[in-house]
Amino acid sequence: MTAAAKLLTLPFIINNYALIQTYRRCVPQKRQPWNRKPHVTASTPTRTDSARTPLAAEYRQQGTSAADWQRRSLAAVWHPCTQMQRAQAVPPLPIASGEGPWLKDFDGRRYFDAISSWWTNLFGHSDARIRAAIADQLGLLPHVMLAGCTHAPAVELAERLSALTGGVLGHVFYASDGASAVEIALKMSFHSWRNRGRPAKREFVCVRQGYHGETLGALAVTDVEVFRDAYAPLLMQAHMVASPDARQAHAGEDAGGPARRAADELRALLATRGENIAAVIVEPLVQCAGGMAMHDPGYLLAVRQLCDAFEVHLIADEIAVGCGRTGSFFAFEQAGPSSGAHAQVWPDFICLSKGITGGTLPLSLVLSRDEIYASFLDDDVARGFLHSHSYTGNPLACRAALAVLDHFADDDVIAANRDRAAALTTALGPLARDARIAHFRQRGMIWAFDVREEVLPDRFAERFHLAGRARELLIRPIGRTVYLMPPYLFDAADAAWLAERTVDTLDHVLRGSPAPDADRSPEPQTA
Ligand SMILES: Cc1ncc(COP(=O)(O)O)c(C=O)c1O
Task: Report whether pLDDT(261) > 80.
Answer: yes
Number of neighbouring beta carbons within 10 Å of residue 105: 17
- pLDDT tens per residue across span 321-355: 999 999 999 999 999 765 444 567 999 999 999 99
pLDDT of residue 516: 74
- pLDDT tens per residue across span 402-438: 999 999 999 999 999 999 999 999 999 999 999 999 9
- Taking residues 502-509, report their average pLDDT: 98
- pLDDT tens per residue across span 469-486: 999 999 999 999 999 999
Ligand 1 center to 86 CA (angstroms): 24
Sign of CA dihedral 227, 233, 239, 241: positive
In the structure, what pLDDT confidence band is assigned to residue 51 with cuts at 50, 70 and 90? Answer: low
Q: What is the pTM of this model?
A: 0.89
Backbone angles phi, psi at 114, to 5 degrees: -75, -5
Who lines ligand 1 at CB under 6 A?
177-179, 182, 211-213, 283, 288-289, 317, 319-320, 353
- pLDDT tens per residue across span 112-170: 999 999 999 999 999 999 999 999 999 999 999 999 999 999 999 999 999 999 999 99
Q: Which of 81, 354, 365 to mutate to test the pocket of ligand 1 (most atoms within 8 A of CB)?
A: 354
Task: Report whether pLDDT(24) > 80.
Answer: no
Percent of the chain with pLDDT over 70: 86
- pLDDT tens per residue across span 447-460: 999 999 999 999 99
- Domain residues of the chain, as ranges? 9-35, 131-411
Give the ranges where 297-412 is alpha helix by DSSP (H). 298-309, 370-374, 395-411
Q: How far apart are CA 230 and CA 184, in angstroms?
A: 23
Distances (CA, A) of 108 to 90, 104, 453: 19, 6, 37
What is the torsion angle, in degrees rounded to the nearest 10, for the CA atoms of residue 68, residue 71, residue 76 and residue 79? 110
Q: How far apart are CA 484 and CA 482, in angstroms?
A: 7
Residue 519, classed as helix, strand or coil, is: coil
Ligand 1 center to 319 CA (angstroms): 6
- Taking residues 348-366, report their average pLDDT: 98
pLDDT of residue 118: 97
Of all protein residues, the one whose alpha carbon is nearest to atom 3 of ligand 1 is 212
pLDDT of residue 34: 40
Number of neighbouring beta carbons within 10 Å of residue 202: 15
The arrangement of strands across the sheet holding 437-443 comes to 437-443, 446-451, 481-484
Q: What is the CATH number of domain 131-411?
A: 3.40.640.10
Ligand 1 center to 128 CA (angstroms): 26
Ligand 1 center to 36 CA (angstroms): 40
- Taking residues 3-24, report their average pLDDT: 44
Of all protein residues, the one whose alpha carbon is nearest to atom 2 of ligand 1 is 212
Q: CB-based burial of residue 73 (10 Å sphere; 0-12 exposed, 13-18 middle, 19+ buried)?
A: middle
Return the higher-pLDDT residue of 180 and 336. Answer: 180
- Taking residues 27-55, report their average pLDDT: 49
Ligand 1 center to 212 CA (angstroms): 5
Of all protein residues, the one whose alpha carbon is nearest to atom 7 of ligand 1 is 178
